[in-house]
Amino acid sequence: MSANPEPIEEVAAAVAEGDRRAMARTITWLESTRGDLAARGQAVLEQLVPKTGGAVRVGVTGPPGVGKSTFIEAMGLGLIAAGHRVAVLAVDPSSPVTGGSILGDKTRMERLTQDPAAFIRPSPSGGSLGGVAQRTREAMLVCEAAGYDVVLVETVGIGQSEVTVASMVDFFLVLLLPGGGDELQGIKRGVMELADALVVNKADGDTRKAAERTRGEYASALELIRPTSHAWKPRALMASALEGKGIDAVREAIFEHRRALQEAGEFEPRRRHQARAWMWSLLEEDLHRAFREDPKVAAAIPDLEAEVEALRLTPGAAVRRLMQAFRP
Ligand code: GDP
């Protein structure tokens, strides 16, 4: 960092022109644990916020090895060929600070990385899922302000992160392997219910037949799930990311979904709901932190916890006392 950082306005203007270095710098500031840098990032973001919201936001999840990065690269290149600009972000709360993030490996998505119409950013590392997701949401806004009209958010399909990613995108894509039920693939039913499309990948070579069968099984399973929208029935598709087959159908589904929701008047309300929910989840985190950091609360917690554990005090009574300490 230079001693004389550029004015916020200049950085914001550069981002708005699609300058990838300015984008990367802004996102780095937003991810920074240094208060002054984070504040710079927020200041840039505040200037950019009227320019955000213009992208099709797509979440991509699936078990490790299913072919997420191969698929994202194939679809990303297809989108760019069709005239789009594509940003790829990731939510990977499991990645250690030592840099094991899912997009950290530079050899992944090599062709997409080199394409001037693509912007690829690995997951912010370390911290809670909430913190990682917060920074990815902000990075998404930066990409939108820079004119990227498709944002793909990747997450590994193991745990809570899928639900978080689904809450920040318009279209949620679940990639699956041929053969093996959802338990086998570690995909929880709750995640299936969030999917706008299920794609059985690796529908090629020896696994093609199994992919067809698996697709059929998932198509039947989807019949039993109540869709999250009146305007869209989730689809079960099949693809070979390696051979570039079936990718166009997924891309078409994404844009069809958008048109259908817009025509049904569901699109804008959903975006508004997501923005509001994001605000409240941030507020909850801030309040929680402020509460725990309050000296009177912090001092009272150990005793009250011990009392609750020893069954001498109900949890409800302990909470009342903590609230009194916080807000006398
Ligand atoms: P990720 O962990 O989900 O990101 O999966 P990768 O994209 O890294 O792919 C894992 C492995 O599966 C790699 O060896 C890929 O070459 C391979 N792979 C990805 N897509 C396909 C596909 O459509 N067909 C076949 N046969 N292999 C694939």
What residue spans define the domains of the chain? 1-49, 52-264, 277-326
pLDDT tens string, the chain, 328 residues long: the values are: 455 678 999 999 999 999 999 999 999 999 998 999 999 999 999 999 999 999 999 999 998 889 999 999 999 999 999 999 999 998 887 655 444 445 555 457 889 999 999 999 988 877 778 888 889 999 999 999 999 999 999 998 767 888 889 999 999 999 999 987 666 566 677 788 899 999 999 999 999 999 999 999 999 988 888 888 889 999 999 999 999 999 999 999 999 999 999 999 999 999 999 999 999 988 998 899 999 999 999 999 999 999 999 999 999 999 999 999 999 8
Smallest CA separation from ligand 1 atom 24, residue: 202
* Nearest atom (ligand 1) to Cα of 72: 7
Give me the DSSP letters along 23-76. HHHHHHHHH-SSHHHHHHHHHHHHHHGGG---SEEEEEEE-TTS-HHHHHHHHH
Query: For the structural domain made of 52-264, what CATH number should be given?
Result: 3.40.50.300
* Nearest atom (ligand 1) to Cα of 70: 7
Q: In this predicted structure, what is the pLDDT of residue 3?
A: 54
How many beta carbons lie within 10 A of that of residue 324, not counting itself?
12
Q: How far is the CA of 20 from the centre of ligand 1 (A)?
A: 28
Ligand 1 mutation target, pool 60, 68, 70, 101, most atoms within 8 A of CB? 70
Q: How far is the CA of 131 from the centre of ligand 1 (A)?
A: 29
Smallest CA separation from ligand 1 atom 17, residue: 67
Ligand 1 mutation target, pool 75, 176, 238, 242, most atoms within 8 A of CB? 242
Give how far Cα 240 sits from Cα of 71, 143, 177, Å. Answer: 8, 28, 11
Q: In this predicted structure, what is the pLDDT of residue 99?
A: 43
Q: How far is the CA of 156 from the centre of ligand 1 (A)?
A: 13
d(CA 90, CA 215): 26
* Nearest atom (ligand 1) to Cα of 73: 7
CB contact burial 88-104 (16+ within 10 A = b; e otherwise): bbbbbbbbeeeeebbbe
* Nearest atom (ligand 1) to Cα of 102: 4
Q: How far is the CA of 71 from the centre of ligand 1 (A)?
A: 8
Token pair, residue 166, equals: 């689904």
| CATH class of the domain defined by 1-49 | mainly alpha
Q: How far is the CA of 12 from the centre of ligand 1 (A)?
A: 37
* Nearest atom (ligand 1) to Cα of 66: 3
Give how far Cα 110 sits from Cα of 21, 81, 118, Å. Answer: 19, 16, 11
Ligand 1 binding site (Cβ under 6 Å of any ligand atom): 62, 64-70, 201-202, 204-205, 240-242
Q: In this predicted structure, what is the pLDDT of residue 184?
A: 59
Q: How far is the CA of 240 from the centre of ligand 1 (A)?
A: 9
CB contact burial 146-171 (16+ within 10 A = b; e otherwise): bebebbbbbbbbbeebbbbbbbbbbb
Q: In this predicted structure, what is the pLDDT of residue 193?
A: 86
Smallest CA separation from ligand 1 atom 18, residue: 67
* Nearest atom (ligand 1) to Cα of 241: 23
Q: In this predicted structure, what is the pLDDT of residue 98?
A: 40
